[in-house]
Chain A
Amino acid sequence: MAKRLVFEATPMRRLSAFIIDMIILWFVVGVPFSSLFESLAPSRMMVITQESLATFKIQFVSLVLFLFFFLYFTILEYYLGQTPGKMITKTVQEHNGFLSCVMANLFLIPIFPFIILWFIDPIAIVLKNKTLSNILSKTRLLHVDKEIKIFDNLDIGDVNG
């Protein structure tokens, strides 16, 4: 039987995984939306006569864009426990089902009250090494370390031992 050593992921590993995922999302989702943003929010030299409507359009499209981000994280973490960023940084999201994945990623939706998590989560990481989203959704981000092989008839006890 093979066992793996796992740790709670460090803040640096969390951040690295997130940045890698954002880069991937830029290419997968951001590029198709960039021309849309250009047509809705043209250069600062040009102002559409109905400014309030233009602002609403940009906000709506931003919300749609973040919903794509939300789908990316939620679905990949539910089915695989990992996004590509987490695969690269060898981290795994431990969860209790689809609902916990949804709750863990609600911070991605840029509307109140979820937007508050943008400020609280980083503070929680520093203090408790997990985000408030993780705490509320009962999920954990784990760093999966090297695999070790053990024999079935040997009791190695607790690794922390």
Chain B
Amino acid sequence: MVKKQNIILKPQTIRPLRFTIIFLIILSIFAMFIASTIESIWGETGNTAIIPIEGVISDGQGLSVGSADEVLKFLNDANENPKVEAIILKINSPGGTAVASEEIARAIAKSDKLTVAWIREVGASGGYWVASSADVIVASPLSITGSIGVIGSYLDFSEFLEEYNVSYQRLVSGEFKDMGTPFKELTPAERLYLEKTLDEMRDYFVAEVATNRNLSFVQVDRLADGRIYLGSKAKELGLVDVLGNQQEVLQVIEDTLNITVTTYEYKRQPTVFNLLSGFNSKQGLIEGLQIKT
């Protein structure tokens, strides 16, 4: 219940509006001072960013941090952070799609910060393509790397369907329109065309690695028959710079930049959608034609 009262208010000795404005200005200045003081003490994010590249590199969203979009976002963030002097690419990837791998590699090459690729268990194919674009590659002697090449293999279900009297009704507007479908056998012309395309992609991959690693095309071409190399062998071949682990990675940065490394790492918090869509990811049983490095 609202009560009414009859009271007399004291006359104001302070002019409220002027006092209020002055007080608010002082409060704001004080707040800015305190905020900037705290920021100068605690605002440091570290001078070295760690960007994990894990799992299959692709353009989609998966469970692991292999999405090109995300890695590019992290790279962009690290590049724009004036406090960051070096970027560590923590790679544990068997490869991925050609486009996604190339996009990440290009972004790393463009960075004006010191980039160090740290290959953990696996840094092969597209994973190696990404690593090769860094300034320095550090790998364990037992890391699996190399596998320079392109693969477009897929399962052919044409005979399986025939056994069950399922026929493939071909309705296409061009001779090569359904090239690579798993429901029919590859024709010689199609095979030739696809292999030629794979060769072109391979040559591009080899040329990129040669440029990144300061090797000749011929040298890399000889190594690019798709075989993997252990880290120790890769160092002999010029595909890796330093053998070691995290300690060596930090040492490389400290020696090169003459700084004390303080790191921070990018992580993605998977959403419920990510977790559920992981079961419907592109890495399903029947993939059809999907060219990967």
Q: Is the CB of A47 within 8 A of B42?
A: no
Q: Is the CB of A129 within 8 A of B2?
A: yes
Q: Is the CB of B35 within 8 A of A32?
A: yes
Residues of A within 8 A of B23 (CB): 75-76
Cβ proximity bits A1-37 to B, threshold 8 Å, 1 near / 0 not: 1011111101000000000000010001100110110
Residues of A within 8 A of B267 (CB): 45-47
Query: Smallest Cβ distance from B76 to chain A, in angstroms?
Result: 11
Count contacts on A: residues with CB < 8 A to the other chain.
46
Within 8 A of B (CB), among A63-81: 64, 68, 71-72, 75-76, 79-80
- Chain B's interface size range is 35 or more
| B32 interface hit (Cβ, 8 Å) | yes
Query: Smallest Cβ distance from A35 to chain B, in angstroms?
Result: 7
| A144 interface hit (Cβ, 8 Å) | yes
| B27 interface hit (Cβ, 8 Å) | yes
A57 vs B38: C-alpha distance when bound (angstroms): 9
A39 vs B38: C-alpha distance when bound (angstroms): 11
A144 vs B144: C-alpha distance when bound (angstroms): 79
Sample of 19 further A-B pairs with CB below 8 A, known A46-B77, A79-B19: A4-B9, A6-B5, A7-B2, A28-B24, A29-B28, A35-B39, A39-B42, A40-B43, A45-B74, A47-B266, A68-B27, A80-B12, A82-B16, A84-B24, A87-B20, A158-B6, A159-B4, A159-B5, A160-B4
Can you identify 25 A-B contacts, CB atoms within 8 angstroms?
A3-B8, A6-B6, A6-B7, A7-B4, A8-B3, A32-B36, A33-B31, A33-B35, A36-B35, A39-B39, A39-B42, A39-B45, A42-B45, A45-B70, A46-B74, A49-B46, A64-B34, A68-B30, A80-B12, A80-B16, A80-B19, A80-B20, A92-B9, A158-B6, A159-B5
Q: Report which B residues bind A (CB closer than 8 A).
A: 1-9, 12, 14, 16, 19-20, 23-24, 27-28, 30-32, 34-36, 38-39, 42-43, 45-46, 70, 73-74, 77, 263-269
